[in-house]
Structure 1
Amino acid sequence: MIKESDVAEGVGELINTEFHLWDQLHIIFGWEDGSLYDPNINEIHVPYSFIEKVKARFVVVDYDNTGVGREDAIMNAFMYALFHEVAYSYVHV
C-alpha cells in the first residue's frame, strides 16, 4: 500500500522544499520500532506493522460508513504520522 501511494514521496518533496533542516532527513520503512524519529542518526523509522495497525483500527470503527475511503483514511493517518515525526526532527535541530 505504501509503495503504490505517493504519500511518502509527496511528504519528502514537501520537507525538502519547505523545511530547512541542517542535515538530510531519512525516512526508513520496514523498521521494527516506530513510527519514531531517531535524533542520533537523523532518521524516521516506520515499520510496516504501523500501517497494519492503522488498517485494523479503521475496520474496527467501521470507517467505511464515513464517506471517506478506507485507503485514503489510512494514507492520511500515515501522512500525519510522518509529519509528526518530521516535527520532532525540526525541533531537535
Structure 2
Amino acid sequence: MSSLLQSYNEALHHLTETEERIASFVISHPEEALDLPVQDLARRLEVAPSMIIKAAKKLGFSGYTQLRLAIASELNLLVQREKSSVMIEDLE
C-alpha cells in the first residue's frame, strides 16, 4: 500500500478541482478524516459521498474504507516514530 501523499502526488494531474479539494483536506486533516464516515466528510466538504469515493479511487484506493486504513497506518507510523525519538532522547 503506497503512502497517501505519494498517491496524491501521482494522481494530482488526474484529479478534478473537487477531488483535489477532498484529497487536500484528507492530507491536511488526517485525524478528522479518519474519524468521519463518508457521509459526514461529504457534508463537511459540501460534496456528494460518491465524490469522496471517486477521489479515493483516483488516489489508488479501492474506496473510502481503504483510504481510511491508509490514513490510520500512516498515523500509526508517525506515532511510532515519535515514540522512538523520545526513547532515543531519553537514552542520550
TM-score, normalised on structure 1?
0.30
Which of the two has greater strand per residue?
Answer: 1
Query: Structure 2 length normalisation: TM-score?
Result: 0.31
Q: Which has the higher helix share?
A: 2
